[in-house]
Amino acid sequence: MKKLLLLPLITFIFFQLGFAQQLALPSNGTNPRMSAGVRVGVTDVNINWGAPGVKGREGKVWGTGVAHYGFTNLGFGTAKESPWRAGADECTTISFSTDVLVEGKLLPAGKYALFMILAADEATLIFSKNPAAWGSYFYDPKEDVLRVTVRQQKDLPTSRERLAYLLDNPTDRAVTVALEWERWRIPFKVEVDLVATGLASIRSQMTSGLGFDPPSLQAAAQWSLTNNVNLEEALFWIQSATSPNLGGVQTFSALNIHAGLLRKLGRTAEADEKMKAALANANLMELHGYGRQLVSEKKPKEALAVFEQNYKQNNGAWPTNVGLARGYSANGDLKKALEHAKLALAQAPDATNKTSLEAMIKTLSEGKPIAQ
């Protein structure tokens, strides 16, 4: 009897499971789902949309039932007035892995549904915190996180058949996201705070196994020094990188970073001592590069001293004469600069360096200092 009672129950469970799992069929290609992404600095920007086609409706897309102006009642769902879904079928979604600025306005990290309020000469972008809703049938203005208004272009030279989102002119700080369809283009600018997001990413990585890796610790400290941020923690990173506990790295590069951080923190005497140790560990090219760095920092006397050390330490080998030419020129002694530039020309290892030195010699011969 119990077995007979269990049979209908098992049948019911399988019946319910059958409805819970729907058969996935191949797309018919009517409005293919598409995606695009880019990394801006350390920020990932990703867009996913349904891509309708113009299908012969040139001139009958915008401001019609295809892509309506303003709000409209779609006749289904909970929304009485819906904006355009900025694509086809499911919501168009856009996500940001860090906080960003959209057209200069802050938008927190997250995934959003993207809607648009279209007008003849402008479009208001809506970033909604409900990216799971289907299209704009369930649009709720209370779920708006940000609205920004942009002006569209309506004169693309050729008609774009499939709606697309383009990621134009990406840099480490910004990207232009642009919807293009038919002859319209609706662009908006996304910007990131590279220093803030970069620092957050580095600090997070330094709490992982990379926090025990001297090259990673050194790179993190160098980034902080270059960007003049998080100096106290960066000092800890470089101290860890050079600590005997992690192998005691004593390269010129590591010690130079250490000295630079100490100097930024106002600990000048310690910085000078650390720099002496760095120079004692420097090879020919490191000394040459540091001398050029000092010239660029408007420290000509210190630069000349480094170039002279390099010349003596390496018996006048290439490119120590080039360094002396730069050092003397920066200190106003163009005669000596010219002498060493000519010596360097005889040592030049390739045509590129020869051309550069010939230009340097010409400049010095005219009584003008060389560009640093």
Domains and CATH numbers, the chain: 33-192 (no CATH), 195-365 (1.25.40.10)
Which residue blocks in 107-230 are alpha helix, DSSP H? 194-205, 214-227
| CA–CA gap between residue 45 and residue 114 (Å, rounded) | 13
Q: Which of 150, 145, 25 is nearest to 93 (CA)?
A: 145
The pLDDT value given to residue 197: 96
Instruction: Please report the pLDDT score of residue 12 as a whole number.
Output: 45
Rounded-to-integer distance, Cα 165 and Cα 145, Å: 21
- What lies within 8 Å, CB to CB, of 73 at 6+ separation is 79, 80, 81, 82
Q: What token pair was written down for 226?
A: 């270059």
Q: How many helices (H) and strands (E) does the chain have?
A: 11, 11
pLDDT digits (tens, 9 = 90+) for 154-193: 999 999 999 999 999 999 999 999 999 999 999 999 999 9
Q: Which residue has the tokens 């506990």?
A: 245
* SS3 sequence of 277-345: HHHHCCCHHHHHHHHHHHHHCCCHHHHHHHHHHHHHHCCCCCCHHHHHHHHHHHCCCHHHHHHHHHHHH
Q: Which two tokens stand for residue 244?
A: 């005997």
pLDDT, tens digit only, all 372 positions of the chain: 544 444 454 444 444 545 455 665 555 668 999 999 999 999 999 999 999 999 999 999 999 999 999 999 999 999 999 999 999 999 999 999 999 999 999 999 999 999 999 999 999 999 999 999 899 999 999 999 999 999 999 999 999 999 999 999 999 999 999 999 999 999 999 999 999 999 999 999 999 999 999 999 999 999 999 999 999 999 999 999 999 988 888 999 999 999 999 999 999 999 999 999 999 999 999 999 999 999 999 999 999 999 999 999 999 999 999 999 999 999 999 999 999 999 999 999 999 999 999 999 999 999 999 987
Q: What is the pLDDT of residue 24?
A: 56
Listed in order, strand segments (DSSP E) in the chain are 33-40, 43-50, 93-96, 100-102, 105-107, 110-118, 123-128, 144-150, 160-168, 174-182, 184-191
Helix axes 334-347, 351-365, angle to 10 degrees: 160
Helices 194-205 and 214-227, interaxial angle, to 10°?
160
What is the distance between the terminal CA atoms of the chain, rounded to a whole angstrom?
Answer: 98
Q: At what angle do helices 300-313 and 284-296 cross, to 10 degrees?
A: 170
User: In this predicted structure, what is the pLDDT of residue 70?
Assistant: 97
Which residues, in sequence order, are CB contacts of 17 under 8 Å at separation 6+?
none
